[in-house]
Amino acid sequence: MNSILPPIATVRPHSLVFHGDERIDPYYWLRDDSRSNPEVLDYLTAENGYADAILQPTEELQKTLYQEMVDRQLPDDSSVPYYLKGYWYRSRYEPEKEYPLYERLAARPDAPTELLLDGNVRADGHDFYQLGALEVSPSNHWMACSEDFVSRRQYRISVRNLQNGRWHDDVIENTSGDIVWSADSSGFFYVRLDEETLLPYQVYYHVLGNEIAQDKLVYQEADNTYYLHISHSRSEDYLLIGLDSTMSTEVHLLPLKTPGASPQLFLARRRGHEYYLDHFRQHFYIRSNREGRNFALYQADDGAEQYWQTLLPAREEILLQDFVLFKNALYVEERVAGLTQLRQLDLQGQEVRMISVEDPAYVLWLGANPDPDNTEFRYGYASLTTPTTQYGLDIVTGERKMLKRQPVLGDFNLENYESQRLWITARDGVQVPVSLVYRKALYEPGKNPLLVYGYGAYGLSEEPYFASARLSLLDRGFVFAIAHIRGGEELGRHWYEQGRQLHKMNSFTDFIDVTKGILDAGYGDTRRVFAMGGSAGGLLMGAVANMSPELYLGMVAVVPFVDTLTTMLDESIPLTTGEYDEWGDPRESAVYQYIKSYSPYDQVKAQAYPHLLVVSGLHDSQVQYWEPAKWVAKLRATKTNDNLLLLSMDMDAGHGGKSGRYRYFLDVAQEYAFLISLAESSIKSTAA
């Protein structure tokens, strides 16, 4: 297809034996935990050079796409301010700046605006920057923030005196980013990561002015299948130490007025019981699946389950996702038939009102409501055709007002686009929901390029959200579809259970069947079908490419989890031990064989593959860079056609790609240019 030759990775057979089964990995040598091996870096650089050379004809298109995406952004955009403890807080962008400024304004006449943190200043000199948390002390005199400068989710905590503006010299390295202040503002709690696995497992308390070496260890989790996180209760009476695995949770409490106390267990973990805890007005509120897999809501005085009072029972068809407490109201976020809904209840669990939406595919969510005494409840709404919108609802009267709809500059008009909700029958008879969108004037049944997006893991629901960057595809005639496949939680907990562990294959077959169903319904050209997914969705791409390569013209796999079996056998790799309940523990023979049967790297075979753009980051701590690098090397040596196979390895970024408001669009523009150019060339070749 082209005269530019790709790099060919050296073959060095490496034997991997487990359960008496030997796998030969020819590219195992590409793993370098230090990310400093010259041979490995040279190979990755060569792959980048090859990808750049092949994509060179799309450079102008990439620039055009990037500029389109940038031009839709409001240059001086700002968030809706929220009130907390005497101050109004907001973030805002300055024109042409990549990162926001975080500010507050005292709620008094003529008060000056205080700059808490300028992300552009903090990011200066770094290839990557991400703010994790920004927490102001209860006294309003101190600020602690957590920042990632490498893109491995290892956050550095810094402290600033807001009375004189000075930053402390001492910083705390290798944290999860969580920060919770004590009630008297004398110090704060934080979480340390394991140096090797990056697992969050220790809670420390830091007293302002003390050496970091003197920080007190408050709690340490010994079970490496659990992730640890901290937060404060709605009442601000307690530090909540949360411990989560896929199938069970546990919470420990520590009174924030006595930070030197020892944490107390609320309710011990047990297999299969997940509960999520809050505290307000002398009561605990618990979202628990003890009486139904879709969760119920309880009120209690402590962890004695026999005395829990049911506010909202578990229901078979409705998933209780979240809740937030106010002085005189309780709001719940639920999911029904794949779509979210919000309801206002009183504190006894009786419904007051429903917040409804008429769009065929949309998402509603609980907004930023930090003050429980507020008389206004904030929530968010978006759809495939409607930009993110924030509303304020009067808790007493129910009167609603729009606080902000995210501006989309240019000639955008939501009336130009059509959204649809489909149900596709999978091969086992299950109905799979699909959300799709297209530009009305460009839609012709059976003739549009089709991009199907999927994820299907961890019980994470893929929401039909709005993305202004996506307009660049829709305005070129693409139909964009989200396949809400099993492994997510769109249809409730059972939807997740049917797409994990020994049912994981359902995620892949659902995606294939959905693609065919969309085409049968006339929403795409069978010659121009594309697929995209990232992380666990990248695993989806790899498995589908092995199983049904003929169905797709091209695929984009972003930070793909494709060396599934080898990674799940290696406890030294971040995330492995905490995910046995997601993928299964391959130390069990049956699980080993099942994972091997779909693991994309293990299942590469001599066949024709779609055009592939594989995107990754050298510093990725969730899916290590060598997984996609090895996968591309093996595909290149094995596949039987000359379709494009490109690896774009960002040498400065990690799992989330480039940081920054505008730089992020560079990645999107490259991916879209790849898809658009393939769609256009396909039409030309057909016409010829």
Retrieve residue 548's tokens.
């049904």
One-letter amino acid identity for 53? Answer: A
Give the DSSP per-residue string, 616-649. EETT-SSS-THHHHHHHHHHHHH-SS---EEEEE
Query: Strand 318-325 relative to strand 330-336: parallel, antiparallel, unpaired?
Result: antiparallel
Catalytic residue among 507, 535, 616, 621: 535
Q: How far apart are CA 15 and CA 21, in angstroms?
A: 10
Q: In what order do the strands lie in the sheet with 87-92?
A: 82-84, 87-92, 101-106, 113-118
Q: How far apart are CA 122 and CA 13, in angstroms?
A: 45
**Phi, psi (degrees; rounded to nearest 5) at 17:** -120, 130
Is residue 184 annotated as part of the catalytic site, yes or no? no
Catalytic residue among 279, 510, 655, 659: 655
One-letter amino acid identity for 647? Answer: L
How far is CA 441 from its chain centroid?
33
CA nearest neighbour of 443 among 424, 410, 420: 420
Q: In what order do the strands lie in the sheet with 249-255?
A: 227-232, 238-244, 249-255, 264-267
Torsional sign, CA 518, 524, 527, 532: negative
Is residue 359 annotated as part of the catalytic site, yes or no? no
Q: How far apart are CA 199 and CA 125, in angstroms?
A: 28
Q: Where are the alpha helices (DSSP H) in 56-117?
A: 59-71
Q: Where are the alpha helices (DSSP H) in 59-131?
A: 59-71, 119-123
Is residue 655 annotated as part of the catalytic site, yes or no? yes
Q: How far apart are CA 532 and CA 449, in angstroms?
A: 13
Q: How far apart are CA 683 and CA 558, in angstroms?
A: 26
Distances in Å between the Cα of 167 and the Cα atoms of 104, 157, 171 are 17, 11, 10
201-232 as b/e: b if 16+ CB within 10 A: bbbbbbebeeeeeebeebbebeeebbbbebbb
* Helical pair 626-638 and 38-55, crossing angle rounded to 10 deg: 60
Catalytic residue among 620, 621, 648, 650: 620
Count of alpha carbons within 13 Å of 664, Cβ hemisphere only? 17
Provide the 3-class DSSP secondary structure of residue 80.
coil
Q: Tell me the catalytic residues.
A: 535, 620, 655
